[in-house]
Amino acid sequence: MPQGLCDLAFQIAGAPRLEPAQLALLKISDDFELKMISLFKMAKRELNIDQIQAAYFRKYNEYKERTKITAKLYNMARSSNSAIESVKGRKGVYKLKDNFEE
């Protein structure tokens, strides 16, 4: 099976929590952003849109359209105080910023 959606069954059980100080610095605007960051923290690697969509459904049992996920990630990556950045040279692939620590 190709690496991608299937390997996304990564430890969905316990999502790491963000510290209050991290939340204040990030100025997270909604629950959706918090959930997205949580997915990246669980994966501990870069993820593409399809992987994020599958993980979001598996973790939160809630379907989000690809366009909504794409728009949210794009806006988060453009924000100067976000924890997420796009991977240079790869379309639709995002990761936690290097300076964002647990």
Report pLDDT digits (tens) over 7-50. Answer: 434 434 455 565 665 555 555 567 888 899 999 999 989 999 99
- Count: domains in the chain: 1
The range of the structural domain enclosing residue 54 comes to 30-102
Asked if residue 25 belongs to a domain, the reply is: no
Let me know if residue 101 belongs to a domain. yes
- The amino acid occupying position 41 is K
Q: Does residue 24 lie in a domain region?
A: no
Q: Is 13 part of a structural domain of the chain?
A: no
Tell me the average pLDDT across 59-81: 91
Strand ranges, E, within the chain: 47-48, 84-86, 93-96
CATH number at residue 42: 1.10.10
Helix or strand or coil: residue 52? helix
12 in any annotated domain: no
Long-range contacts formed by 83-92: CB under 8 A, 24+ apart:
83/22, 83/26, 83/37, 83/40, 84/36, 84/37, 84/40, 87/46, 90/46, 90/48, 92/48, 92/49
Judge whether 56 lies within some domain. yes
pLDDT at 99: 73
Mean pLDDT over all residues of the chain?
Answer: 78
